[in-house]
Amino acid sequence: MPVLFVEVDNHTEPAAVVAAKIERYGRFFGRQVKSDRGRDVPLWSTLWDDSGRGGFPPVALVFTKDVGTQARMNRIKAVRDLSRACWQPRWQNPHGWSPRDTEEDGWWDHAGTVPVIATHLDQLRTHGPHGPVWWRFGHSDWQPITDALTNTGTKDEYRAREEQRSLEREAQEERRRQEREEELRLREAGKWECPSCGSPVYPGDAWGEPVATGGPCTVCRRITDSQQPPTTERTVTAAEAAETNGILARLRRTRPPALER
């Protein structure tokens, strides 16, 4: 059975002293010894079974003094904050360590951390050790002991999310492939032969110009257009422009008609 270390707090020591005990647990769990194969292994693993949850064995803090609910929580939070370096896992991502708020996704690495759960003796008497009486440092609510000791945000959970994202990407790519194939099918179904050269003509040609159904291809149409004679336009001479728009022309338009005799 996995081991659980228990510390009983009678509220006779400062919170810093209780936090220092958690630090000493961490140093003890970090001690290495040689196995029968000559490899370095944690000393504690040669004495107790590994829970398989990752990290060091857990430590349970049981507070016994009746100081009221608020004072009890204040003490638990004080010990939590003073011992954060012992129980706080590190945020990891595929590129290594990073602060939690700089990466979109990753996992909590619990290696080398001491899981700490806290409760009060009155809660144990009322609900028993398997009731929702344990508050794990780093969690936000009271939980049964199994839930409190279960690591959250693990690498396995990250891998499951990555696998789901990969499946979604593959499904999206499959939808896009099917859409492209449908576009090609409709394009092929709508083509015809150019009446001039016999080459296939599609509803939208390579130059983006609209093509009338059954009409010639763009190349043939342009060749035909280039063979049309240019439109002849007569050049207006300067004298004709002056005759039409000059001062004398305006005066003639504004001169009153001559009186008849």
The answer to whether the pTM exceeds 0.75 is no
Is 70 exceeded by the pLDDT of residue 182?
yes
Looking at residues 102-113, what average pLDDT do you find? Answer: 82
Looking at residues 155-164, what average pLDDT do you find? Answer: 92
> CB–CB of 28/36 below 8 Å?
no
The per-residue pLDDT for 173 is 94
pLDDT digits (tens, 9 = 90+) for 131-152: 999 999 999 899 999 999 999 9
Tokens found for residue 6: 């228990």
Mapped onto helix, strand or coil, the DSSP state of residue 56 is coil
The per-residue pLDDT for 250 is 59
The per-residue pLDDT for 222 is 82
Distance CA 101, CA 165 (A): 20
Domain ranges of the chain: 5-153, 190-226
Is 70 exceeded by the pLDDT of residue 206?
no
Residues 6+ away with beta carbon under 8 Å from 109: 89, 90, 91, 92, 155
pLDDT level of residue 94 (50, 70, 90 thresholds): confident
The per-residue pLDDT for 24 is 96
Is 80 exceeded by the pLDDT of residue 66?
yes
Distance CA 31, CA 47 (A): 12
Looking at residues 191-212, what average pLDDT do you find? Answer: 77
The per-residue pLDDT for 175 is 95
Find the angle CA(96)-CA(101)-CA(107) to the nearest 5 degrees: 45
Is 80 exceeded by the pLDDT of residue 99?
no
Is 50 exceeded by the pLDDT of residue 261?
no
Q: What is the DSSP letter of 229?
A: P
At residue 117, φ and ψ (nearest 5 deg) are -120, 145
- Which amino acid belongs to residue 76? I
The CA-atom distances, in angstroms, between 183 and each of 71, 176, 188, 203 are: 70, 11, 9, 12
Across the chain, mean pLDDT equals: 84
The per-residue pLDDT for 232 is 54
The per-residue pLDDT for 32 is 93
Looking at residues 27-53, what average pLDDT do you find? Answer: 89
Is 60 exceeded by the pLDDT of residue 230?
yes
Percent of the chain with pLDDT over 90: 47
